[in-house]
Homo-oligomer: A and B are copies of this chain.
Amino acid sequence: MAQNARLQGLGILVLCSLLHPAMTTAQQPALNLMPLPANVQSGAGSLRVDSTFSVAFTGYAEPRLERAGERFLRQLARQTGLPLALKPSKTAKATLVIQTDHASKEIQEVGEDESYILDVSTASGRLRATTPLGTMHGLQAFLQLVDVSPDGFAAPVVTIQDKPRFPWRGLMIDSARHFIPLDVIRRNLDGMEAVKMNVFHWHLSENQGFRVESRKFPKLQELGSDALYYTQEEIRDLIAYARDRGIRVVPEFDMPGHSTAWFVGHPELASGKGPYEIERRWGVFDPAMDPTSERVYKFLDEFIGEMGKIFPDHYFHIGGDEVNGKEWDANPKIQAFMKSQGIKNNQELQAYFSGRVQKLVVKHGKVVIGWDEVLVPGVPKDIVIQSWRGQASLAQAAKQGYRGILSNGYYLDLGWSAARHYAVDPMSGDAANLSAEEQQRILGGESCMWAEYVNPENVDSRIWPRNAAIAERLWSPQEVRDPASMYARLDFVSTRLEWLGLTHRTVSRHMLQRLAGSASSAEFAALRTLTDVVEPVKDYTRERTAPAEPTSATPMNRVVDAVPLESDAGRRFGELVDQFVASSCHDAAAEARLRAQLTVWRDNGAILQPLAQRSFLVKEVAANSQDLSALGAAGLAALDAIAKGQPAPEAWKAQQLALLEQVKKPKAQLLMIPAPAVQKLIEAASAGGACSSPKS
């Protein structure tokens, strides 16, 4: 308890140290920690990590800690290539000594103590935490600290006092639209542990699939899943796996909409006549549960009872989003019910449904969590709102006394950059003006991986590394928000995440190899050059620009499926152009690098062209390849114009900008990322002033 109080007192220190990065001495390399801790004090020197490295646990002991220690040692061995003894030491003499005060709750709760203190000296390390949750976070921080050094592997001397800003830091994975096997889920839980996320929100039912074995209602999975579902035993194992990593598992069964797959086996739950089939398309569909049927509530009572036993978490997600009401409108019995009960519209009807379901959830000892739509007048105050609508919606809920978490701004499927997600803060906008008490109700946030365009193969690459930036947003102090620092650390963390078994980087190469077939090494390099600077279209453009209506049977083997959602090469090129232009075009080193890059791009199309003749999947990006060559040529022309020292003619500029407008148009559902940076060069070339003056 004393420990607890001491950690509570760290809040102020935290902000000071983070607002003054100068406190990190200049001799020290930047620490590759992500999320950044609440408080870091760097010292001189480092702790050597060699084959004799050992870990010992003191204080509170439990098997989960032993396993965490073994996992830590295995990961440290992988990270260093050292043949370490993979069992924690039985004595208190060890390189890293860990003190845990007491147990955490058997069923992990929101707001449990997750703090830890990590002291690394040149002689040893010491990790202290109130509960195993903090211990596990501290072990992850230590792993991030260890790196190769001039003298061997080492962790820098440092004192970290850390605790999370928000108690609810989640990742939602939609396993319903495309089924995601357990090994993929498990490695994503490993990734979550590494970046200190603590809630796995599992979206388990949808129009396109019902993914859990029900023993009470086996037709749910037998007819609603194409035989792709998790058995109860598998789920129990996964929950244990998550608990071992300090992660809660919150199940979501979306109702009354998004529920076609339930109705294949149980048409009696639906508001329409049926029969129903598993939906193969994407979108919002008509089928919805019948809110006027007592059979529905009896079914849900038993179902929630059964699922509540499998999923021990205190929270139970009932979805509630995107009901279009068409089946309700078309059903005379439902219309009669509404009239008799004085229910004026479908929103009120959904409120009635939510209220009934909420009581069932409470009856089975759980708290309801649902999307914005479940917040309707009269809903009890203990429910939690997950907001896809945004901070204003969240703030309004908090004012009314409801707790909430933010997901708007954290939709991983929209293809935003890490920086854009990183800039989204649960406490910004209307939330910033809440009272302290109201702000307490904002529990955190969840990133969401909706699965229309992800499958087991590429899902890692749609979650990572960007999810690590969201994890930092939810853990680190609000003042930690420099995107340059974030990107520098993200690159490092991304590598480390692959060592854990995530495949977000390697899969892209594998998928490109597939669509390149027996390309020569030069052709494959050219394909990489192109695919390194394109990104899939953003937001919901992919639906709108699809050549044919996409379904769950549409192959995901195209370039748009293979490339990362964020182009590192494109971002770096943009930074280099900014640096060059900011030097009034006098930075000769930057210019040389720009020229080299632009030349490669200009010449790339010719190399790639034969491969486009041989592969239909490369042919799809032939226009993108031409665009890249044009962009290279335009950029080089701009640099030539700048070198001449005269403002380029207006006609030239107009022509180049017209070209760029063409290049900026998505093709094959891909965006050409360096286009705006090349536009800056063209504008600099024609601007007059320093950028078109002869260099000094």
Contact = CB atoms under 8 A, between A and B. Distances in A.
B616 A152 contact: yes
Nearest to A611: B148
B518 A510 contact: no
Contacts of A516: 148
Given A82-B555, A149-B616, A556-B81, A499 B492 contact: no
A322 interface: no
Interface string A492-533: 100100110000001000110111111001000000000000
A498, A557, A561: which has the most chain B beta carbons within 10 Å?
A: A557
A82 B556 CA distance: 7
A32 to B, nearest CB: 6
Nearest to A524: B495
A275 interface: no
Nearest to A619: B150
A51 interface: yes
A82 B616 contact: no
Identical chains bound together, number: 2
B83 A555 contact: yes
A615 interface: yes
Interface in A614-667: 614-619
A1 interface: no
A556 to B, nearest CB: 6
Contacts of A83: 552-555
A82 B152 CA distance: 46
A222 interface: no
A613 interface: yes
A627 to B, nearest CB: 22
Contact of A614 (B150, B492, B495): B150
Nearest to A82: B555
A148 B620 CA distance: 13
A378 interface: no
Nearest to A178: B83
A614 B506 contact: no
A514 B515 CA distance: 29
A147 B518 contact: yes
A63 interface: no
Contacts of A619: 150
B613 A29 contact: no
Given A51-B553, A506-B506, 5 more contacts: A81-B511, A81-B561, A148-B514, A150-B614, A152-B616
22 contacts: A32-B518, A51-B555, A78-B457, A80-B514, A80-B557, A81-B555, A81-B556, A81-B557, A83-B554, A147-B518, A148-B515, A148-B614, A149-B517, A149-B614, A149-B615, A150-B614, A150-B619, A492-B518, A495-B513, A498-B510, A499-B510, A521-B568
9 residue pairs, one from A and one from B, having the closest CB atoms? A81-B557, A148-B517, A148-B615, A147-B517, A82-B555, A495-B513, A492-B518, A506-B506, A83-B553
